[in-house]
Amino acid sequence: MIILGLTGSIGMGKSATSNMFRSEGVPVYDSDAEVHTLQAPGGRALPAIEKAFPGVVVGGVLDRPALGQRVFGKPEELRKLERIIHPMMGRIQRLFLQKACERREPVVVLDVPLLFESGGDNYVDAVVVVSAPARLQWQRVMARPDMTAEKLKGILAQQMPDAEKRKRAHFIVPSGLGMAVARQHVRAILSALKDYDGQVWPTKVMKRRIRR
């Protein structure tokens, strides 16, 4: 099973590209969606978040803006939040890979915005970077509700520059040339992988389980 890491800076079109892989029948692990599930009403992360950041959970519902204010631009507080979320995310991701492996899926995608920043690129067979011109990126992001130039600069400061991501990518999907072009690149990537085997997964333990 080949594990593709899918990443890209904010506003680059990663979510749309992720959906293109889904439409080609490729299972996709969406880290952003999983975080939202963990933090949704009744989510497993809420008790620990409230304990670490008192007052951000009101009536069983996470006040996302309040949590954002507590961690934005504060590395120590952000790491505190990450120590809660990351282990939970790791377990969910491993379960996703285990089930995909048992189904003998040829390719899966891990959609992770901070793939390089978190070192996740060391645990995939290849990395797909979604990229667009900076001007288009800014236009897309600034059109979002409650977005400001200052906030966007802060987000970009936490992300690896797009140029560096492109250098480290095995494949690049250009999202600034229209959906049809991006889809052509997605299909070309999947075609290029047909003659290769994944080296990252399954682990030796998983291989033994599958043989049984």
Average pLDDT, 10 consecutive residues per value, the chain (212 residues): 94 95 97 93 94 93 90 86 92 94 94 91 94 94 89 86 95 95 97 87 47 31
CA distance 63 to 138: 27
Dig out the tokens for 165 from the structure.
């991501």
Domain ranges in the chain are 1-27+106-212, 31-104
- Whose CA is closest to 30, among 58, 11, 5, 53? 5
- The arrangement of strands across the sheet holding 107-111 comes to 28-30, 107-111, 2-7, 126-131, 171-174
Distances 30 to 18, 22, 26, 70, 111 between C-alpha atoms, Å: 8, 11, 12, 25, 5
Q: What is the predicted pLDDT for the residue at 99? A: 95
Dig out the tokens for 36 from the structure.
């939202």
Spatial contact of 111 and 18, defined as CB atoms under 8 Å apart: yes
State whether residue 105 is helix, strand or coil.
coil
* pTM for this entry: 0.85
- Whose CA is closest to 127, among 167, 178, 174? 167
Q: What is the predicted pLDDT for the residue at 196? A: 84
Spatial contact of 45 and 33, defined as CB atoms under 8 Å apart: no
* Whether CATH 3.40.50.300 fits 1-27+106-212: yes
Q: What is the predicted pLDDT for the residue at 209? A: 36
Q: What is the predicted pLDDT for the residue at 68? A: 86
Phi/psi of residue 70, nearest 5 degrees: -75, -25
Q: What is the predicted pLDDT for the residue at 73? A: 76
Phi/psi of residue 44, nearest 5 degrees: -65, -20
